[in-house]
Structure 1
Amino acid sequence: MENWSLVSICVLFGLTARWAVSLNSYSGAGKPPMFGDYEAQRHWQEVTYNLPVHEWYFNTTDNNLNYWGLDYPPLTAYHSLLCAHVAKLINPDWVELHASRGHESYGHKLFMRATVLVADLLIYIPAVVLYSFYLSEGSNKKKVCTVLCILLYPGLILIDYGHFQYNSISLGLALWGVVVLGLGWDVLGSLAFVLSLNYKQMELYHSLPFFCYLLGKCFKQGLAGRGLFLLVKIAVTVLVTFALCWLPFLSDPGQILQVVHRLFPVGRGLFEDKVANTWCSLNVLIKIKTILSTDTQLYFSGGTSLAPLLSCVSIPLFDTLTISGFPTYKACRGLYFYHRYTSTVRDGI
Structure 2
Amino acid sequence: LIYLLGSILLRLCVSLAPYSGKGKPPMFGDYEAQRHWQEVTYNLPPTEWYVNSSHNNLGYWGLDYPPLTAYHSYVCGWIASHVNTEWISLGESHGFESDQHKVFMRCTVIVADIIVYYSAVWAIWRFSHKAFSNVGFILAMFYPGLILIDHGHFQYNCISLGLMLWAMVGFQRNYDVVGSIFFCLALNYKQMELYHALPVFCYLLGKSLKLPWGNIIKLFQLGIAVVLSFLLLWLPFLASLDNMGKVVARLFPFDRGLFEDKVANVWCAISPVIKVKQLMGQTSILRLCSLTTLLLSLPSCVHLLRHPNMRIFKLSMVNVSLIFFLFSFQVHEKSILISAVSALLLYGELPTYIVTGFLHMSGFSMLPLLAKDGLSTQLFTTSILFIFLSNFNQPNLNERKLSTNGLFRKLLCHVYVWVMMSLTIPPPPRYPDIFPVVNAIVSCGVFLAFGLVSHLHQFILPPPVGVASDV
Q: TM-score, normalised by structure 1?
A: 0.88
Q: Is 1:335–2:303 an aligned residue pair?
A: no
Take 1:88 and 1:145, find their aligned partners in 2: how far apart are those partners?
Answer: 42
Gaps (5+ residues) in structure 1? 1-7
Counterpart for residue 200 of structure 2: 210
- Partner of 2:123: helix, strand, or coil? helix
Gaps (5+ residues) in structure 2? 336-368, 370-471
Distance 1:247 1:49, change over 3 A: same
Residue from 252, 256, 260 that aligns with 2:244: 256
Counterpart for residue 291 of structure 1: 279
Take 2:244 and 2:58, find their aligned partners in 1: how far apart are those partners?
Answer: 16
- Partner of 2:133: helix, strand, or coil? helix
Counterpart for residue 246 of structure 1: 234
- Determine if contact 2:199/2:317 at 8 Å carries over to the other structure: no
Take 1:328 and 1:126, find their aligned partners in 2: how far apart are those partners?
Answer: 22
1:49 CA drift (Å): 0.6
1:319 CA drift (Å): 2.1
Q: Is 1:277–2:263 an aligned residue pair?
A: yes
Residue from 60, 78, 84 that aligns with 2:53: 60
- Determine if contact 2:20/2:154 at 8 Å carries over to the other structure: no
- Partner of 2:149: helix, strand, or coil? helix
Q: Is 1:174–2:161 an aligned residue pair?
A: no
Return the index of the structure with the highest Cα Rg: 2
Counterpart for residue 344 of structure 1: 330
Counterpart for residue 3 of structure 1: none
- Partner of 1:90: helix, strand, or coil? coil
Counterpart for residue 323 of structure 1: 310
Residue from 153, 156, 161 that aligns with 2:143: 153
Distance 1:313 1:19, change over 3 A: farther
1:136 CA drift (Å): 5.6
Q: Deviations over 1:234-291 (max 9, x none)?
A: 000000000000000001000111111000111222256xx54344564344322212
Aligned length: 333
- Partner of 2:55: helix, strand, or coil? coil
1:315 CA drift (Å): 4.2
Take 2:151 and 2:69, find their aligned partners in 1: how far apart are those partners?
Answer: 17
Q: Deviations over 1:70-129 (max 9, x none)?
A: 010000000000000001111111000111100011111111111111111111111112
Residue from 88, 96, 103 that aligns with 1:95: 88
Counterpart for residue 5 of structure 1: none
1:310 CA drift (Å): 3.2
Take 2:141 and 2:29, find their aligned partners in 1: how far apart are those partners?
Answer: 25
Distance 1:127 1:329, change over 3 A: farther
Take 1:85 and 1:238, find their aligned partners in 2: how far apart are those partners?
Answer: 29
C-alpha RMSD of the superposition: 2.5
Q: Deviations over 1:164-207 (max 9, x none)?
A: 11111111111101101111111101100011101110000111
Take 1:9 and 1:310, find their aligned partners in 2: how far apart are those partners?
Answer: 43
Counterpart for residue 290 of structure 2: 302
- Determine if contact 1:302/1:344 at 8 Å carries over to the other structure: no
Residue from 2, 10, 14 that aligns with 2:7: 14
Take 2:151 and 2:280, find their aligned partners in 1: how far apart are those partners?
Answer: 36
